[in-house]
Structure formats: C-alpha cells, structure tokens
Amino acid sequence: MSPKSVTIYSTEKYLLDWPGHVFPTGKYRAVRERLLRLRPGLAPRFREPSPAREDQILLAHTGDFLRRVEALSETPDLAILEFEIPVSKAVLDALRLHTGGSILACRDAMETGAAAVNLGGGFHHAFADHGEGFCVFNDVAVALLTARREGWLRTAAVIDCDVHQGNGTARIFRDDPSVYTFSIHQENNYPIKQGSDWDIGLEDFAGDDRYLAALGEALPVILKTQEPDLVFYVAGADPFEEDLLGGLKLTKEGFRERDRLVFGLCRDRGIPVAAALAGGYARRPEDVVEIHTNMVLDLLDVMEPGVFRS
C-alpha cells in the first residue's frame, strides 16, 4: 500500500443497540459491506479501531459528565431522558470505539498527508458536560484535542455538513483559536444554535444549487485564510431530500458534488482530511447507506485518481 493510501476505520462492534430508533444503526455494517462489494480491492484498507481511553475523552468532556454517563449505563432507559437513546454498557463501549476511530483517522490523515475515514462517528451534538441529540461523546472534539496534546496537530478546521448545526463542537471550541468551526445546516431545525466561527443557516427546502453555491463560496475562503493542518469533515447524509429529520433537498448527485468539492479543495491545497459519517435518517435506510458509501468512493477517487474504477 502506498504511503498516500486512504485508510478506513470500521468494526462490527460499531453497531448500536437502539431497536426501532429513527437512527439507522445498521448502516455501519451496511456501508462496509457495500464498499467491499463495489470495490473488493479495498479490503486491505480497512482497520479495526481501538477504543478511546478515558484520559482522551476527558480532554473534551468533564469528569462529572463521564461519571454520570457510566452511572446511567446501569439503567439505559433513564439515559433516554438526556440523550434520546438508551445508553447501555454495550452502547458505551461501542461509542468509545467510534471515538477511537475518529482519533485514528485523524492520525492516519496527518501521517500520509492525504485522508482517512471513520465509518462511524460525527457525534457533534455532545457538549463538554452533557449529551444530546443521539450524541454522548463528541468524537470530533476528542480526536482533535488528542491530536494536539500528542503533538501531531497544531491547527484544524471542522467542516460540518450535517443538516443540524454542530452545536456541541462549536461550544467546545468557542474559545479555542486553534480549531476553526464551520457549519452549513438548515436554520429552522434542531438544535438550539451555538456560534461556530462561521455558520451558514440555510432556508427550508434549499436544494443542490443553493447548498453547493453557499458551500463553494465559503470553503475556499476558510482554507485560504485559516491554512489548517487538518480538516475534519462531518459528512452528514441528512440534508437528503427524503430525510425524516431534515428539511433540505439535496439529491444524491448533490451529495457527490458536495463531497468532491470538499475533498478536491483540500487536496489542491495539500490539507489532509479525516471524515466521519454523522447523521442520516432517510425514509429508506438504503439511501443513507448509498450516500455514505458514495462519500468514501469519492474520497478515494479524488485522493487516489485512477487507483480504483467506479
């Protein structure tokens, strides 16, 4: 494998036991299977993540919060009141792995100077002292703070393209000039907004043209003025036109243009990218799987042109 090869973090243990929940947790396995079916040669690229350690999680979260989460995992049904999901011990273990996958994706992207992807993660609604919106640990923040503590990252930009603003990430990094936060989202939707360094709140039913024009105007400015060492791309699938929890109207081709825009601009400026899946709640779960899969395929095609055929 060449030093510039894109690595992919994934494990069967990412599965979250939330039966009947609007969050399609089966997507973690399904995206992996679809990728390997479409491009069998990707098999050597897959890596098993290791769980985030407590000292790493505590870089982004308070000790009181971590103790509360662990206590709530003894009674998962009570955890629903805070997180809107049952948080059992098994779920907590899985979320530590999701967080570890994001840490390792950042490390690999920095080491190769290209990109890596976590087929999980993107839990951007978690705050330092509480969780919300299906999010417990903010893997984006934990990964970037771990990278900085360990000395292999100075500055980063979070490019958050989920339909919901990355409020937890924005709040955690509010007073941290080393991490620039950008979010393009539906304005009239969950959550209560926190101020990112740059927010673009789109009107309801904004489609491909509106979305791509706004992103295409903002992203070059951010990369030029901030010159981050790393971009963490929160590649949500929920701006989709048939999403149950979103009100934007991106088509599947719009997503491909979005992802190629992000990856292409980063490649052209020599900025490594770590990507995570984040949200997606389409009426048909297979649409979420397709959108996430296409994101990885486009990452590969942009960073390693000609290595694989679509």
d(CA 123, CA 279): 8
d(CA 208, CA 214): 10
Could you say which DSSP state residue 203 is in?
P
pLDDT of residue 3: 52
Q: In which band, very low, low, confident or very high, does the pLDDT at 308 lie, cut at 50, 70 and 90?
A: low
Model pLDDT for residues 201-225, shown as the tens digit of each residue: 999 999 999 999 999 999 999 999 9
Between the alpha carbon of residue 140 and those of residues 1, 179, 309, the distances in Å are 27, 11, 31
- Beta-carbon neighbour count of residue 244 at 10 Å? 11
The mean pLDDT of 176-182, rounded to a whole number, is 98
Query: Length of the chain, please?
Result: 310
Between the alpha carbon of residue 67 and those of residues 128, 210, 251, the distances in Å are 13, 44, 42
Please report, as a single letter, which amino acid is at residue 32. R
Model pLDDT for residues 79-135, shown as the tens digit of each residue: 787 788 888 999 999 999 999 999 999 999 999 999 999 999 999 999 999 999 999
Q: In which band, very low, low, confident or very high, does the pLDDT at 309 lie, cut at 50, 70 and 90?
A: low
CATH superfamily, region 7-303? Histone deacetylase domain (3.40.800.20)
pLDDT of residue 20: 84
